[in-house]
Amino acid sequence: MSDLPSIAIVGGGLAGWTAAAALAGEFKHHAGKVSVVECGQDEPFDLSEEALPATRLFLEKLGIDEDEFVRQTKATFKLGTEFAGWPAPGGTFFQPFSQFGTSIETLGFHQCWFKLRRHGEGSPLGEYSLAAVAASLGRFARPVADTSSVFSSFSYGFHPDRALHREFLRRYASARSVRANTRRLVDVAVRADGGGIDALLLEGGERLSADLYIDCSGGAGLLIEQALQTGYEDWSRFLPCDRAITWSSSKTDALMPHSRKTAHEAGWQWSVPMRHRTGHGLVCSSRFLDTSDMRRMLPENTESEPRSTAFVNGRRRKMWSGNCVALGAAAGFLEPLEAADTYLVQTGISRLLRLLPGRGHGQANADEYNRLAIIESEQIRDFLILHYCSSARRSSPFWDYCRDMELPDSLAAKIEMFKSRGRIAPYGGEAFSLPNWLSVFAGMDVLPRRYHPFADKLGIAELKERAEAIRAAIRQAANSMPDHRTFLARIGAA
Amino acid sequence: MTAQGPIRSIVIVGGGTAGWMAASALTRVSNGALESIRLIESPEIGTVGVGEATIPPMQLFNRFLGLDEDEFVRKTQATFKLGIQFRDWARLGHTYIHPFGRYGADLDGRPFHQCWLRARALGDQTDIGEYALAAVAAMQGKFSRPSADPRALLSGMSYAFHFDASLYARFLSEYARARGVARLERKIVDVELRGEDGFIDALVLDDGERVRADFYIDCSGFRGLLIGQALKVGFEDWSHWLPCDRAAAVPCASVEELTPYTRSTARKAGWQWRIPLQHRIGNGYVYCSEFISDDEAAATLLANLDGEALAEPRFLRFKAGRRRAFWEKNCVALGLAGGFMEPLESTSIHLVQTGLSKLQTLFPDRGFDPLDAAEFNRLSAYEYERIRDFIVLHYCATERDDSPLWNYCRTMAIPDTLRHKIELFRSGGHVAVYDEELFILSNWLAVLTGQFVQPQSYDPLTDVLDTDRLKRHLSQQRAAIRACVDGLASQRDFIARNCRAEPPA
Ligand SMILES: Cc1cc2nc3c(=O)[nH]c(=O)nc-3n(C[C@H](O)[C@H](O)[C@H](O)COP(=O)(O)OP(=O)(O)OC[C@H]3O[C@@H](n4cnc5c(N)ncnc54)[C@H](O)[C@@H]3O)c2cc1C
Ligand SMILES: Cc1cc2nc3c(=O)[nH]c(=O)nc-3n(C[C@H](O)[C@H](O)[C@H](O)COP(=O)(O)OP(=O)(O)OC[C@H]3O[C@@H](n4cnc5c(N)ncnc54)[C@H](O)[C@@H]3O)c2cc1C
């Protein structure tokens, strides 16, 4: 007898259809095991639309052709993010999906770079990143696998239109036996024994039961919170932004292979290039800026009607409780500064597939799932906080607060270690690793007090020469790449 | 007052395996950045002289030093190790192997071991060892280095070494001295600390000479001359989880075809190792003194040798656990001075190696920022604890109830981190692997399945797989491994062809 559990997904947003698509890939010969409940009445909210490089792996696992994905979602490629005004008003740095340089004499490039900077030598860090240089030139090509080539030193993500992205996954899942149920969820029957959810009650009286429930109902957390009362850990003391207004414009001429996040006096603002439009958003903290002032920051005439939303950065105390697993905004919220939300849905559903319990078992699986999910979201949280607490912006209450706020111990230790000797300890979790942390530290002009003593094996003149050779090779490689728009046209995504 | 500037000089205390590994690695990494590296060892005190089995990362260490592997094998009377055979651990009469390298291939994205678990639920009786190349080769006495072609099954071969620890120390000592490390064969009689901050100021030798350095590496063995006796760093005792506290060791004559694996046989009050080298077999009984006398342990050991004993049994005493800090002030402890876990999974030499690699990353300057030490200690403690859990698993997951030691171990409270792993495996055959853990999925699988930790179910997604296809997949894997091993030479032939050692003088 098949032990395959039946699964009901509540919510037809991006999280819901991402989960459905991943399950559809696995359950292909078992029609009817997976269903999605979506009420379909909420128009999808126009959010910033970014997907990290891990999306490529996710698509590959589903057997989806990446070019087809780019064509259908009107996406552009993403080599990283430009952070304007973050170090200080007028200052800019780029966060690339890329390594910086290559190690010199068994020593990481960053340690050599610290030494160069200490001696007033070397170029800004971004000059040693192929993704950063290519992005600044508006160029794009795919990396190669051969690790001896400079073209293997970077990766990329996408800027897909959110609604088209969701529709793409919906089509994929629906073609593979996932059933969509468009009736509104009106109530949830909870098991008396504390074992979780018994059934979903839909509009019109239908009762839907499953072995496992996936809550993708958004921030309300209809199952995980409203029915099971799991609780929410509020991170707004570390990440005080809690409001967003979004709109879009049809202007797409630049078509840059990166997004831009610009800091302002009480938060930040994004622009994300897609092929048919540019997405914009304004993110603020309502403690430091009231809504009317926020409205005043919008451009004179936005082409689409601006829409507002409220959120609270944080995470659900447990992402898996009883027979219910929350994904997407139902599991927690992290402002889209580094586009990690789509990533968390992708890793969440992959983790669930790895730990899928047989019938009647599962507490240990849930414990393991939560252990990993909590580590992951806290690491991303720390990375986001770094953008705020390390900024030298002054003279607004918001940035004053960010400079002085208390930090999570894990982040405080990480910053201290970096300031001491430029070490960035592996954090586990893959979302953001050494190059990401390094680019934010360096971008914010936070440099260590000392560099690795073994960097003194090479004299400053020789080090300078080696670094310059790397910089020149990267510049040359970037110049040999096609223009981003040309590359898109070549794969039929004009 | 804090000193400034780079470390200029290092003194390593101890000329055992740890001391000479440190000396060799430091000459290699510092590559001219240090003015002097000296090593002090006392011929009078000597080394533990045991420690003969290793794990695959040892290859990386040798490669890092630029050693020729065949030469290393010849010079240390080494043989190749493909894994460890465990006898009588789960229950009397039962045997399993913990091989290096992985088990069979995944099918449609489902992990191999889940496919195997499902096949078991369908009545398949094959042992998981039949799907590990190293296990099958080991049982047939075969050996080969891995193939460089990633498509070949043989590319998955993984191996380590059995070697003569004193010969290895001598080999490294030649290496290090040829690269400028100075050796002082003297005894340290006192350690002087600086009044203002308690840092080590000087080592006083038996002839009254004072030796000073910016940085000290304590490789003085169990006594922890610097870290424990001088700097007073305490010891975290793990003997409630790992109660064995003594060993009797004896070499014996080699009598049969060299087995390319270590054997570990569980006994009434501990376990016995058997480690074949080219010129002899190393043996030892690791036991808990609460449950057996030294004489009885020695008698058990001597009664269970493959050949004639070549010496009187030597007795060693130890306690499982680790230093509360491995790096304190201007001193780092490596090897037995840093901690001890019984050699059940051959991890001690490896811990010296990873300690050195951490030291390279966190190499200090004379300012000795306490953060460097704190980071080193955090990483080392974590690493020790993960290995500890793995070793404890061998003891707690047993059916044996034939002696007080096993009754204790079967029912003792275990670390939460280990309990979570066992519960998760019981629940659905999943293996939790903690961040940066030495032992990974395949290692845990070998011991969990070998010691009868039975999953109550398996990954339900394997139910999507067609039964015949699943069975075919498994039988093809077994057949491919058998065919591959059939084509390999015996370890004896391999050694004769490539790296035969001279018989010892
Ligand atoms: C301003 C802003 C910008 C963002 N930018 C990004 C970004 O660039 N990249 C990124 O990865 N993430 C971003 N995020 C975060 C991410 O978009 C959210 O986490 C995401 O919207 C959550 O998607 P979801 O599918 O979990 O929930 P939602 O999109 O809220 O979907 C919930 C679904 O549940 C359904 N539903 C609700 N109630 C019922 C009911 N009673 N019955 C039936 N169905 C119901 C709804 O119809 C809907 O389909 C951003 C968030 C904000 C606020
Ligand atoms: C029973 C047993 C079996 C083992 N099996 C394995 C195994 O299979 N695999 C494995 O990896 N590890 C094994 N080990 C561990 C392994 O033996 C040690 O990790 C390794 O030998 C390193 O030892 P060491 O160099 O730290 O100490 P030692 O070998 O004890 O060396 C100490 C050194 O310090 C010097 N010294 C001490 N005091 C002074 C002083 N006052 N003045 C000057 N010099 C001094 C001594 O002269 C000596 O050179 C085993 C250990 C034991 C006890």
Of A5, A27, A454, the CB nearest to B33: A454
pLDDT at A58 over 50: yes
Q: Given B81, B268, B329, B358, which residue is catalytic?
A: B81
pLDDT of A2 reads 59
Contact A421 B371 (CB under 8 A): yes
Ligand nearest to the CA of A221: 1
The second-level CATH assignment, the architecture, of A7-49+161-235+312-378 is 3-Layer(bba) Sandwich (3.50)
Q: What is the CATH number for B364? A: 3.50.50.60
- Within chain A, all domains assigned CATH 3.50.50.60 are found at 7-49+161-235+312-378
Q: What is the mean pLDDT of residues A455-466?
A: 93
Q: What is the pLDDT of residue A302?
A: 80
What is the pLDDT confidence band of residue A15, given thresholds at 50, 70 and 90?
very high
Per the rule left: phi > 0, alpha: psi between -120 and 50, beta: everything else, A352 is alpha
pLDDT of amino acid A1: 42
Please say if the pLDDT value at position A441 is more than 60.
yes
How does pLDDT run along chain B (505 residues), one tens digit per residue?
Answer: 456 899 999 999 999 999 999 999 999 988 777 889 999 999 999 898 887 999 999 999 999 999 999 999 999 999 999 999 999 999 999 999 999 999 999 999 899 999 999 999 999 999 999 999 999 999 999 999 999 999 999 999 999 999 999 999 999 999 999 999 999 999 999 999 999 999 999 999 999 999 999 999 999 999 999 999 999 999 999 999 999 999 999 999 987 678 999 999 999 999 999 999 999 999 999 999 999 999 999 999 999 999 999 999 999 999 999 999 999 999 999 999 999 999 999 999 999 999 999 999 999 999 999 999 999 999 999 999 999 999 999 999 999 999 999 999 999 999 999 999 999 999 999 999 888 889 999 999 999 999 999 999 999 999 889 999 999 999 999 999 999 999 999 999 999 999 999 988 7
In the Cβ-directed half-sphere of B494, how many Cα atoms lie within 13 Å?
21
pLDDT(A61) > 50: yes
- Pairs of residues, one from chain A and one from chain B, whose beta carbons lie less than 8 Å apart: 112
Residue A400 has pLDDT above 50, yes or no: yes
Q: What is the largest CA-CA distance in chain B?
A: 78
Residue of B nearest to A452 (CA): B363
Query: What is the residue whose two structure tokens read 């979903």?
Result: A200
Q: Which of B186, B220, B264 to mutate to test the pocket of ligand 2 (most atoms within 8 A of CB)?
A: B220
CA–centroid distance, A184 to ligand 2, in Å, is 70
pLDDT over 70, % of chain A: 96
The response to whether residue B341 sits with its C-beta less than 6 Å from ligand 2 reads: no
Chain mean position to CA B165? 13
pLDDT at B1: 40
Grouping H, G, I as helix, E, B as strand and the rest as coil, residue A352 is helix
CB-CB neighbours of B228 under 10 Å: 20
- A362/B361 touch (CB, cutoff 8 Å), yes or no: no
Least confident of A11-15, A303-307, B170-174: A303-307
Band of pLDDT at residue A305, cut at 50, 70 and 90: confident
Sheet holding A207-208, edge to edge: A185-190, A197-202, A207-208
| A interface test, pick of B122, B371, B461, B462 with most A CB neighbours within 10 Å | B461
> Does A31 touch chain B if contact means CB atoms closer than 8 Å?
no
A296 touches chain B (CB under 8 A): no
Q: How far apart are the C-alpha atoms of A227 and B32, rounded to whole Å?
A: 66
Q: Which two tokens stand for residue A253?
A: 């001429």
Could you tell me the two tokens for A149? 């080539």
Residue B24: CB within 6 Å of ligand 2?
Answer: no
Tens-place pLDDT, residues B162-187:
999 999 999 999 999 999 999 999 99
| Ligand 2 pocket member B40 (CB < 6 A) | yes
Ligand 2, closest atom to CA B262? 8
Give me the residue from A358, A365, A450 closest to B424, CB to CB: A365
Interface test with A, best of B368, B437, B464, B467 (most A CBs within 10 A): B464
Secondary structure (3-state) at A215: strand
What is the predicted ipTM?
0.91
Q: Mind giving me the DSSP string for B162-194?
A: E--HHHHHHHHHHHHHHTT-EEEE--EEEEEE-
The residue with tokens 């990143």 is A129
Q: Which of A417, A424, A427 to mutate to test the interface with B (most CBs of B within 10 A)?
A: A417
Tokens of B407: 């009754």
The ligand 2 atom at the shortest distance from the C-alpha of residue B14 is: 34
- Determine the residue of B262, B286, B336 to mutate for testing ligand 2's pocket, defined as the one with the most ligand atoms within 8 A of the Cβ atom: B336
- Residue B81 among the catalytic residues: yes
Examine the pLDDT at A276 and tell me if it is beyond 60.
Answer: yes
Instruction: Give pLDDT, residue A48.
Output: 57
pLDDT score of B123: 95
Residue B35 forms part of a structural domain? yes
* Residue A483, φ and ψ in degrees, nearest 5: -60, 145
Residue ranges in B31-151 assigned as alpha helix (H): 58-65, 69-75, 112-121, 133-139
Structural domain for B171, as ranges: 9-51+164-236+320-368
CB-based contact B48:B15 (threshold 8 Å): no
Residue in chain B nearest A5 by alpha carbon: B460
Instruction: For a ligand 2 pocket test, name from B11, B21, B39, B41 the mutation site with the most ligand atoms within 8 angstroms of its C-beta.
Output: B41
**Using alpha carbons only, what angle is made at residue B261 by residues B244 and B69, rounded to the nearest 5 degrees?**
110
Cα separation of B74 and A48, whole Å? 64
Atom of ligand 2 nearest to the CA of B222: 30
Task: For ligand 2, atom 38, name the residue with the nearest CA.
Answer: B220
Enumerate residues 6+ apart whose C-beta is below 8 A from B163. B52, B54, B73, B76, B77, B78, B79, B277
User: For the whole model, what pTM was predicted?
Assistant: 0.94
So what's the pLDDT on residue A428? 65
What is the mean pLDDT of the segment spanning A219-231? Answer: 96
Is B343 contained in some domain?
yes
Q: In what order do the strands lie in the sheet with A267-273?
A: A92-96, A80-84, A259-264, A267-273, A278-284, A243-249, A307-310
A431 backbone φψ class: left, alpha, beta (φ>0; ψ -120 to 50): alpha
Q: How far is the CA of B17 from the centre of ligand 2 (A)?
A: 6
Chain B residues 316-375 within an 8 A CB cutoff of chain A: 360-365, 367, 369, 371-372, 375
How confident is residue A25, by pLDDT bands cut at 50, 70 and 90? Answer: confident
Question: With a 6 A CB cut-off, is A203 part of the ligand 1 pocket?
Answer: no
pLDDT tens digits along A122-171: 999 999 999 999 999 999 999 999 999 999 999 999 999 999 999 999 99
In a domain? residue B96: no
Tell me the two tokens of residue A167: 């529709």
- Residue B139 corresponds to which tokens in the numbers above? 């049982």
Q: What residues of A are in contact with residue B118 (Cβ under 8 Å)?
A: none
B424 touches chain A (CB under 8 A): yes
Ligand 2 centroid, distance to B76 Cα (angstroms): 17
Q: Is A218 near ligand 1, meaning CB less than 6 Å away? A: yes
Write the residue with the smallest CA distance to atom 1 of ligand 2: B247
> Could you tell me the two tokens for A40?
């379909």
Task: Give me ligand 1 centre to Cα A328, in Å.
Answer: 7
- Which of B44, B186, B219, B261 most suits a substitution to test ligand 2, by most atoms within 8 Å of the C-beta? B219
Pick the more confident residue, A466 or A394: A466
Q: Domain count of chain B?
A: 1
- The answer to whether the CB of B182 falls within 8 A of the CB of B188 is no
Confirm or reject contact between A60 and chain B (CB < 8 A).
no
**CA distances for B356 relative to A39, A292, B346, angstroms:** 59, 59, 17
Domain contains B122: no
Inter-chain touch B363–A454, beta carbons under 8 Å: yes
CA distance A295 to chain B (A): 45
- Is the CB of B53 inside a 6 Å radius of any atom of ligand 2? yes
* Residue A26 contacts B, CB cutoff 8 Å: yes
Rounded to the nearest angstrom, the distance between the alpha carbon of A342 and the centre of ligand 1 is 10
Q: Establish whether residue A215 lines the binding site of ligand 1, counting it when its CB lies within 6 angstroms of any ligand atom.
A: no
